[in-house]
Structure 1
Amino acid sequence: MISVTESEETHERYVRNIIATWRSATSDQMQRGRTWYRSAHELASAIADGDARTGAGVIAALSANKSWPENTRLARRVCETGVLSGHFQDALTKAAKIMAGMDPTDVLPMERKTGMFFRAIADPSDPEAVVIDRHAHDIAVGEIHGQQDRGLSSARRYNLLAHCYREAARRLGELPSTVQSVTWVVHTERIAGTGTRGPRR
């Protein structure tokens, strides 16, 4: 287990790491990161006949351990054809419940990555939503941890890192989801071809 402590010194170091990654973004990376969730929102609306909440819920339900192209391919197929396959049963069951009319907030773990991913896509202006995946973790701690367990299933650890992104966003005058998405673009492009896994959510 990778250590994530709650000392003020460690917290401040994580915030500084996030801000440093933000400031290293090229203009192109900044533009792509800034528009990422808005583009995802438009996609969610398109695949669910204008119902962005349903589309976002299905995308989020099917996001774990999938690249974005694969995630969206599966979500589009579910929304357009009703075919549920290509993922773990738990993810497929959640997607089926959302397609059947259940509100995503009643289906997804709202205080974890999947629920936050839904929130950020469903409402890109959400002032609190921030997705902490393995890349967001590594940006904050300042190290690439490959296949090691980051402990993000722990609410305490997830919330600590989410708080760091919210604090970085406050200092930058940005939304937490924007800071996360811009730094995610920067980081995943840095590690591309380094032997680590690709940019999966």
Structure 2
Amino acid sequence: MIPVKSTEEQRASYTQAIVKKWNSATQDQVRRGRMWYPTAHEFAEQIAAGNTVKGAGVLAALSANKSWGENCRLARKAFIEGKASGHVSDAISKANRIMSGTDPAEVLPMHIKTGSFYVCIAEPGNTETVVIDRHAHDVAVGEIYGQRERGLGALGRYNTLADCYRHAAHQIGESPSVVQAVTWVAHIERR
């Protein structure tokens, strides 16, 4: 696990690893990464019959430890059936509360991954929010952790990596969410 309080040297290393992953992305991966959140936004709108906020909230609530394909399947199924299923009880409860009309910002932990994922889907043009999930972590540390604990529930660790993505985005000239999405695509499609 990376330290909760990283040194400037460690932060620079994480930032450089993010930039390196960006630079390794193919043109097609960059194109798809740039469209990732706008496409997710359209999907959220579609599954929630035009209520993008609700669709984004349910997608975020059901996202933990699920592939994007499985996440989409569970969210679509929840709207079709009128209730969430297929996940741990906490995620199901949050998704059901959102489907019942509670503002996702009142249900989701807005200071870590799930809340950030909601914001990036609901507002794909957001220029500050960045999602730090297991893949974003592994890109930044330059190592695939597999099933090992990453400790992203610790706010200091999460914010350190989010700041590194913001610094990398500044160097690249893109928004943090685009940098995260492009590096995510490049990371999951690595050879």
**Which residue is equivalent to 1:119?**
119
The reply to whether residue 151 of structure 1 matches residue 147 of structure 2 is no
Per the TM alignment, residue 67 of structure 1 is displaced from its structure 2 partner at its CA by: 1.1
Residue segments in structure 2 that go unaligned for 5+ positions in a row: none
Structure 2 counterpart SS, 1:190? coil
Per the TM alignment, residue 81 of structure 1 is displaced from its structure 2 partner at its CA by: 2.2
Q: How does 1:52-67 map to 2 (within 5 A)?
A: 52-67=52-67
Q: Is 1:53–1:122's contact at 8 Å kept on the other side of the alignment?
A: yes
**Which residue is equivalent to 1:8?**
8
Distance 2:121 2:31 in 1: 17
Per the TM alignment, residue 43 of structure 1 is displaced from its structure 2 partner at its CA by: 0.2
**Which residue is equivalent to 1:105?**
105
**Which residue is equivalent to 2:86?**
86
Equivalent residue letter for 1:71? N
Equivalent residue letter for 1:70? E
Structure 2 counterpart SS, 1:58? helix
**Which residue is equivalent to 1:31?**
31
Per the TM alignment, residue 3 of structure 1 is displaced from its structure 2 partner at its CA by: 2.6
Per the TM alignment, residue 172 of structure 1 is displaced from its structure 2 partner at its CA by: 1.2
Equivalent residue letter for 1:137? H
Equivalent residue letter for 1:128? E
Distance 1:100 1:47 in 2: 15
Q: Is 1:14–1:141's contact at 8 Å kept on the other side of the alignment?
A: yes
**Which residue is equivalent to 2:128?**
128
Distance 2:94 2:160 in 1: 27
Residue segments in structure 1 that go unaligned for 5+ positions in a row: 192-201
Aligned residues: 190
Distance 1:145 1:100 in 2: 37
Per the TM alignment, residue 176 of structure 1 is displaced from its structure 2 partner at its CA by: 0.4
Per the TM alignment, residue 113 of structure 1 is displaced from its structure 2 partner at its CA by: 0.4
Distance 2:172 2:2 in 1: 27
Runs of 4+ in 1 over 3 A off after TM superposition: none
Q: Is 1:63–1:114's contact at 8 Å kept on the other side of the alignment?
A: yes
Distance 1:43 1:55 in 2: 8
Distance 2:103 2:65 in 1: 23
Structure 1 counterpart SS, 2:189? helix
Per the TM alignment, residue 148 of structure 1 is displaced from its structure 2 partner at its CA by: 1.0
Identical aligned residues as a percent: 57
Equivalent residue letter for 1:3? I
**Which residue is equivalent to 1:49?**
49
**For 1:80-107, what per-residue CA distance to the aligned partner results, in whole angstroms no more than 9, with x for missing partners?**
2213211111001001110111100000
